[in-house]
Amino acid sequence: MGNMIINHGLTSFILIVWMGINIFLFVWFYLFYDLGEQFYYTRHILGSALAWARAPAAVLNFNCLLILLPVCRNLLSLCCGRTMRKQLDKNISFHKLVAYMIGLMTAVHTIAHLLNVEWYNNSRRGEYSGLSTALSELEDNGTTTYLNPVRHIEIDAQQGPTYLVIRRSYFEVFWYTHHLFVIFFIGLVIHGAGRIVRSQQNLDKHNYTLCMDRYTEWGRNPDCPYPQFAGGPPQTWMWVIGPMFLYLCERILRFVRYMQAVRYRKIVIRPSKVLELQLVKNGFKMEVGQYVFLNCPSISHLEWHPFTMTSAPEEDFFSVHIRSVGDWTQKLISMVEELPEGAQGPKMGVDGPFGTASEDVFDYEVSMLVGAGIGVTPFASILKSIWYKFKDSDPKLRSRKIYFYWLCRETHAFEWFADLLQVLEKEMEERGMGDFLTYKLFLTGWDQSHTAHVMVHFDEDTDVVTGLKQKTHYGRPNWEKEFEQVRKENPTSTVGTFLCGPQALAKVLEKKCAKYSDVDPRKTRFYFNKENF
């Protein structure tokens, strides 16, 4: 339970508070419009649809305030500490959750208002006799104000807004449709300017409990003057003007960063169609495991893609490894392959860096690093940084044990940074710290010819796949065995478990962290951290 609180406590608290505020706003405004005396006559025409329209509107205001904040990643990374930044790693998930709430409340709000327009229209046509007709026939003149916003009986009920949900099949389509939010927010700002939801203003002079059945005497009986109505001023703009300003600042900051020059230090095509870019940008500072967004105008002015940096903070450049998956990466690799030797690559815009869970790796005495395929990239940064810290005898290095697991489907993928592991392996041995880094490489896909080749070279000192002293394992890790071993070797330690890989593996590791964490806080405890983009 303690492990779950550490891993998800703040996230769960934020979600509970968010949902609590949504529920409170809905209930409060529903009761306000459903029970408020000033809306008695309005409810007589509209019934409960009034409350069902206004309560979701309040929830919409709150969530429209929030929807832009999670995507202001530059501002948030500048103003928030590391603990909060870990929550911001999940910003897109929260952004989507808020969007779902906006979609749900929009549907309820729209349907309720469609019913309201229908009932207003019917009442204006005289289909509801008695009080409803009398209320709908009130005009704006010297002694009366109208309640029913339908002023002409030939008016047609207007259809509500149509909301289009577009699956992200093509990035440009997604980008253009997604940025219709600008029109949406403009509509929010002017929304309610017509003041069609009206309430009674003279309750002290016109008591509806006495006068509602005496509507034929209104204006002639001094005890029952005409009811006076007015619409409330638009309020949504007050909720969204702040986030809209912050988002504008965010876009300006992104543009400034985009315009800053980026120079290529080195371009390397690795095996398995993996492109390594070593880049230099003035004033750029990073921490281990952080990521950047890259934009290549030659491919698309709109597309920004996240990549974890594989360099260490101690280096005078930052690097990314880009695997060929999708049109954008394939086009970039093709462009680079056609460059003359020694030439600079295409213009590149860089936004970031942004923090991730991996920044906390040095806060633990013991760490388990799990990378799947290209998901090894943040750990390349960590392992490089460790190497530099040992090389410089950094007294601030708290880590005393690193367990590194790398899962790959193809043998070529191990060449991505096998050289780095060889350097670390040699460095640790020379310093008498061979036990500091325990790494295990797992090949999850192979064929019979490869198996035969491995068997022939089984007795060699180095692995036939990687050239490392640590032999490659075949198949998937037995996580029960691995966690049991780590717990046995570190009986009183706090172990940080870090994953950059698929969600299915994340669920497995999270369960193992909970299972192998001891109830006694003085014994081994595992804390799970996952990279999110």
Give residue for tokens 């985009």: 258
**Band of pLDDT at residue 8, cut at 50, 70 and 90:** low
Whole-number CA gyration radius for the chain: 32
Look at residue 138 and tell me whether its pLDDT is greater than 90: no
- Considering only 47-56, 144-153, 493-502, which range has the smallest mean pLDDT? 144-153
pLDDT for 25 equals 94
pLDDT for 465 equals 52
**Band of pLDDT at residue 344, cut at 50, 70 and 90:** confident
Q: What Cα–Cα distance (Å) separates residue 373 from each residue in 141, 185, 321, 408, 477? A: 75, 41, 12, 5, 14
Q: For all residues of the chain together, what is the average pLDDT?
A: 78
pLDDT for 167 equals 33
Give residue for tokens 């005890």: 223
Look at residue 499 and tell me whether its pLDDT is greater than 70: yes
- Return d(Cα 397, Cα 411) in angstroms, integer: 33
Look at residue 108 and tell me whether its pLDDT is greater than 80: yes
Look at residue 61 and tell me whether its pLDDT is greater than 80: yes
Look at residue 52 and tell me whether its pLDDT is greater than 90: yes
- Return d(Cα 125, Cα 170) in angstroms, integer: 49
Look at residue 431 and tell me whether its pLDDT is greater than 60: yes
349-374 pLDDT, tens digit per residue, is 998 887 766 667 878 888 888 888 76
Look at residue 64 and tell me whether its pLDDT is greater than 60: yes
**Mean pLDDT computed over 55-81:** 79
Count Cβ neighbours within 10 Å for each residue of 407-439 and write b for 16 or more, e otherwise.
bbeebebbbbbbeebeebbebbeeeeeeebbbb
Burial class (CB in 10 A: 0-12, 13-18, 19+), 450: middle
242-293 pLDDT, tens digit per residue, is 888 888 888 888 888 888 889 999 888 876 678 889 999 988 888 887 888 8
The number of helix segments (H) and strand segments (E) in the chain equals 17, 14
Look at residue 38 and tell me whether its pLDDT is greater than 50: yes
Give residue for tokens 């992104």: 254
Q: Is 532 helix (H, G, I), strand (E, B) or coil?
A: coil
Question: Which residue segments constitute the domains of the chain, with CATH numbers given?
Answer: 2-151+179-253 (no CATH), 260-354 (2.40.30.10), 357-446+463-530 (3.40.50.80)
Q: Residue 323 forms beta bridges with which residues? A: 274
Q: Is 207 helix (H, G, I), strand (E, B) or coil?
A: coil
Q: Is 247 helix (H, G, I), strand (E, B) or coil?
A: helix
pLDDT for 181 equals 79
Look at residue 162 and tell me whether its pLDDT is greater than 50: no
**Band of pLDDT at residue 453, cut at 50, 70 and 90:** very low
More reliable by pLDDT, 469 or 212: 212
**Mean pLDDT computed over 81-107:** 74
**Mean pLDDT computed over 473-493:** 86
Q: In this structure, how many other beta carbons lie within 10 angstroms of the beta carbon of residue 365?
A: 15
pLDDT for 343 equals 81
pLDDT for 514 equals 85
The verdict on whether omega for the bond into residue 297 sits within 30 degrees of 0, i.e. cis, is no
- Return d(Cα 456, Cα 365) in angstroms, integer: 40
**Band of pLDDT at residue 56, cut at 50, 70 and 90:** very high
CA-wise closest residue to 306 among 85, 533, 94, 73: 533
pLDDT for 477 equals 86
**Mean pLDDT computed over 229-235:** 82
pLDDT for 18 equals 92
pLDDT for 71 equals 73
Q: What is the DSSP string of 88-157?
A: HTTHHHHHHHHHHHHHHHHHHHHHHHHHHHHHHHHHHTT-S-THHHHHHT--SSSS---S-S--STTPPP
Kindly give, in sequence order, each residue whose CB lies less than 8 Å from that of residue 337, ignoring residues fewer than 6 positions away.
Answer: 269
More reliable by pLDDT, 144 or 77: 144
Look at residue 231 and tell me whether its pLDDT is greater than 80: yes
368-393 pLDDT, tens digit per residue, is 888 887 667 777 788 888 778 777 76
Which own/partner contact pairs does 481-490 have at CB distance under 8 Å and 24+ positions apart?
482/368, 482/403, 482/405, 482/440, 483/512, 483/513, 483/515, 483/516, 483/526, 484/516, 486/366, 486/368, 486/403, 486/516, 486/524, 487/516, 487/518, 487/524, 489/401, 490/365, 490/366, 490/401, 490/524
Q: Residue 291 forms beta bridges with which residues? A: 308, 354
3-class SS shares of the chain: helix, strand, coil, % to 5: 50, 15, 35
401-411 pLDDT, tens digit per residue, is 888 888 877 66
Contact 529, 358 (CB under 8 A): yes
**Band of pLDDT at residue 161, cut at 50, 70 and 90:** very low
- Considering only 126-130, 334-338, 395-399, 511-515, which range has the smallest mean pLDDT? 395-399
Helix residue ranges per DSSP H, 191-268: 208-211, 236-259
pLDDT for 24 equals 96
**Band of pLDDT at residue 157, cut at 50, 70 and 90:** very low
Look at residue 221 and tell me whether its pLDDT is greater than 70: yes
Contact 299, 334 (CB under 8 A): no
293-321 pLDDT, tens digit per residue, is 899 999 888 788 888 888 888 888 998 88
Most confident range (mean pLDDT) of 193-202, 240-249, 457-466, 469-478 is 240-249
Look at residue 460 and tell me whether its pLDDT is greater than 60: no
Structure tokens belonging to residue 7: 């891993």
**Band of pLDDT at residue 457, cut at 50, 70 and 90:** very low
- Considering only 265-274, 298-307, 415-424, 504-513, which range has the smallest mean pLDDT? 415-424
- Return d(Cα 353, Cα 66) in angstroms, integer: 23
pLDDT for 158 equals 40
**Mean pLDDT computed over 105-127:** 86
Look at residue 155 and tell me whether its pLDDT is greater than 70: no
Helix residue ranges per DSSP H, 2-48: 2-35, 40-46
The pTM assigned to this predicted structure is: 0.66
Contact 276, 320 (CB under 8 A): yes
Q: Is 267 helix (H, G, I), strand (E, B) or coil?
A: strand
The pair phi, psi for residue 481, each rounded to 5°, is: -65, -40
Burial class (CB in 10 A: 0-12, 13-18, 19+), 36: middle
Contact 482, 526 (CB under 8 A): no
Contact 370, 318 (CB under 8 A): no
Count Cβ neighbours within 10 Å for each residue of 218-244 and write b for 16 or more, e otherwise.
beeeeebbbbbbebeeeebbebbeebb
